[in-house]
Structure 1
Amino acid sequence: MLMALSAPALAHPHSFIDMQTTLVMQQKNLLALKMVWTMDEITSADLLYDAGSAGAGSEIWKKLAAEVMARVMAQHYFTNVYRDGKPLRYMRLPSEYQLSRNGNKAVLEFVIPLAQPAPLAGKPIIFSTYDPSYFVDMTYKSDRALHLPAEATPACALSLFTPKPNASMQAYALSLDKADAPPEEMDLGQQFAQKVTLQCQ
């Protein structure tokens, strides 16, 4: 959980991350996921306060980036990648990452390399990014937040599925305050988690 990014709130979720993902491909293989996470103003406040007026790329920003990235890595990037019901493994360390400011928001960018290149042809590849506790809402605003390299566009397509939990599930999530944590086995975040499907010819 992004404990360093949480802020007091009255109900679940407490923090909001607007996501974008670009698929990194080469020679008809999927190599990595390049993610851009833009945090809401309240979540960003402490990070931006610590950064002060430091310029982009400064040691302060590098230190903050390493701290945030360590928390993300501890949760396996909050990301699951599957093909034909089997998980695709990825490297434990990102190949690159950085933290920056966009107005009153903090932006974390990083690349998750797959442990082995995944052939594009064949069964679809499905990935999902979410916080199991649903303390952090991690969302693609639309399918325009998903990007394919130009050379893959004719052969590949991305689709975004956004679940619609029933009214009782939504009411339960809203009833939780900062001190509450849903039962771990409930995997509350998965009930709200979007799924992205990559299908290539």
Structure 2
Amino acid sequence: MMKLKKIFAGLIFVLAQSFMVPAAQAHPHIWIEGGIELVFNSQGYASGVRQSWLFDELFSTYALQGMPRDKAGQVPSAELEKITSEWMAALADPESHFFTKITLAGKPLTFGAPRDARSTWDPKASQLVLSFELPIDPPVKIDAKGIEVDIQDPSYFVAFDYKGGVRAFKGIGAPAQCKFGYMPPRPLDPKTERLLWSIPPTQKELPENLREAVRQLSHQFTVKCP
């Protein structure tokens, strides 16, 4: 987690100095619009979780600052591959582990090494997208008790949004009887929000009382196949 924060925190510091953005002085620092898919294999077992992270415009613009562009504004694929490698290495830290947890009937499952990781740049929207798949190792059969995928940064350094709720959650090759659900994060109380917004970007860890409070900010995606 610390490696990831060092990568992002350096960007946040320069953003605060260069762009004078008030929001860069508080938690969260980076906003991501997410998309998520649960992949099933030919036997009908859940075999992976695919994710797409659309970074906010301000962070995206700075992350690519100084990189060469072609006439259409595109960034060379080699530069995007370098960013992807750095981010995936940082996200693999056991503490953050891609901000993703998955359980089957309440029991945690393990992921294999991520695959199909890539970054893309939309010059018109000035936004970066990171996409990747976390294989479920081994694949599992989902029953009526169901599977749950939780997305959250426990430090609230990164905030997620899933527009459309359950419509942002898709099944690839899912058995017909499977039912998909989504539970959004519970809103924070005003006092907690003020405390979070008062934390400077130089402070990498949340106090214990705030760590407990932000646990309710998890996006919970469920699938049951009765």
- Structure 1's unaligned 5+ residue stretches are none
Residue deviations 1:44-73, cap 9 Å, x none? Answer: 123222543165672221111101111111
What does residue 79 of structure 1 align with? 100
Q: Does 1:194 align with 2:215?
A: no
- Which of 21, 26, 50 is residue 34 of structure 1 equivalent to? 50
- Give the one of 9, 14, 17 matched to 2:29: 14
Q: 1:5 aligns with which of 3, 8, 13?
A: 8
CA distance in 2, matches of 1:188, 1:38: 25
Gaps of at least 5 residues in structure 2 are: 17-23
Deviation track 1:175-199 (CA, whole Å, cap 9, x = no partner) reads 3232333125724542212111111
Compute the TM-score of the two structures, normalised by the length of structure 2.
0.79
Contact 2:69 2:76 in 1 (8 A): no
Q: Deviations over 1:51-98 (max 9, x none)?
A: 43165672221111101111111221111111222101111x212200
Question: TM-score, length-normalised on structure 1?
Answer: 0.88
Which residue, 179, 182, 188 being the options, matches 1:160? 182
What's the offset of the Cα at 1:157? 1.9
- 2:68 aligns to what? 52
Aligned residue number for residue 136 of structure 2: 114
Identity of aligned residues (%): 27
| Larger Cα-atom Rg | 2
Q: Map 1:73-152; keep pairs closer than 5 Å.
A: 73-74=92-93, 75-91=96-112, 93-102=113-122, 103-143=125-165, 144-149=167-172, 151-152=173-174
Q: Greater shift after overlay, 97-106 or 1-10?
A: 1-10
Determine helix, strand or coil for the equivalent of 1:5. helix
Q: Which has a greater percent of strand? A: 1
